[in-house]
Amino acid sequence: MIDGQPIAEVDYNANHLRINLAVLNGEDAGDTPYEDIGEIAGNISRSQIKSFITIAMGSDSQEKAIKACRLEGITTDLFERIESACMTRYPALKLFAFGIAAQNLEGLVLREALKVGVKEDKVMLPIHDAVAVQTINTDWAADVLEQVWIEHVNRAGGKAKPRLKIS
């Protein structure tokens, strides 16, 4: 609850992947990037694709990513299938050593969105790559998060846009 009102979470979907493609190539990831990669890799689950992307982008190298993925139950064979599927679907993706840049830009975007909330006297509480808002403000928050993301991520004139999930 915020001020006695029920809350909802407005969450960026596949945000680091989307930021990567948008910032480095002006490319939009589409509506279902994890699912697309999973299908190409041989019907791999969304959760495994998400884990792979998070680990890979947060790792300095492919070798470090392979080791970290093993700890999450992603075998070397599965790693190679997912990596190949990523590059098939998104040839320009910078798969390794992009996590910190994505986190920094994600933090900037959320901070700017929170400033809009302050100016408009609407409470948004940050939660990783999402915000909690009163349910009556979910559409407003989604609009703010989308506009701020587009403004800061597409600085080079790209046409990428975020996808948001409300829960």
Identify the segments of the chain with pLDDT beneath 50: none
Structure confidence at residue 157 (pLDDT): 80
Query: What does the DSSP 8-state code read for residue 32?
Result: -
Structure confidence at residue 156 (pLDDT): 74
Please state the domain extents for the chain. Answer: 7-20+98-166, 30-89
Cβ-in-10-Å burial (0-12, 13-18, 19+) of 3 comes to exposed
**Pairing status of strand 164-166 against strand 130-134:** unpaired
- Is residue 108 within 8 Å of 153, Cβ to Cβ? no
pTM for this structure? 0.94
Sequence letter at residue 130? A
Between CA 80 and CA 36 the distance in angstroms is: 16
| Predicted confidence (pLDDT) per residue in 101-115, tens digit | 999 999 999 999 999
Cross-strand bridge partners of residue 10: 131, 166
Residue 145's CB is within 10 A of a number of other CB atoms, namely 25
Structure confidence at residue 22 (pLDDT): 96
**Residue 75: what are its φ and ψ, rounded to 5°?**
-65, 165
List b or e across 99-124, with b for residues whose CB sees 16 or more CB atoms inside 10 angstroms: bebbbebbeebbebbbebbeeeebbb
Structure confidence at residue 155 (pLDDT): 78
